[in-house]
Amino acid sequence: MNRREQIDLLFLDSWDTYVPGFAEYGLKEIQTSERLRHAKSMVVYNDTSILAGQSQGKGMQGVPWMMERGWKPFHIGHQTVLVRA
């Protein structure tokens, strides 16, 4: 990634959940963007919900990875929105 500007809002909506490897790709996307996110960035995972404490959909690996790094869900629905805790 050659981008240098910081990201204010990152909307992740790439591979559909029926494509093999979709969760791993969603994790790779969020890991790649790590150096560009700042304290007030927001991340939106499309087609991602959290049910009974478990992430479902495109962010099923990326959401827990982010939460381990101090991010928290701001909104949970058809999309999950994460902000820094």
Q: What confidence score (pLDDT) does residue 1 get?
A: 60
C-alpha 84/C-alpha 34 separation (Å) is 12
Encode pLDDT of 14-25 as tens digits.
888 888 999 999
* Mean pLDDT, range 53-65, rounded to an integer: 93
* Mean pLDDT, range 55-59, rounded to an integer: 91
* Mean pLDDT, range 26-51, rounded to an integer: 94
* Domain ranges, ordered by start, for the chain: 7-84
Q: Strand order of the sheet with strand 80-84? A: 7-12, 37-45, 80-84, 71-76
Q: How confident is the model at residue 26 (pLDDT cuts 50, 70, 90)?
A: very high
CA distances to 31, 39, 65, 82, 84 from 78, in Å? 22, 24, 19, 13, 20
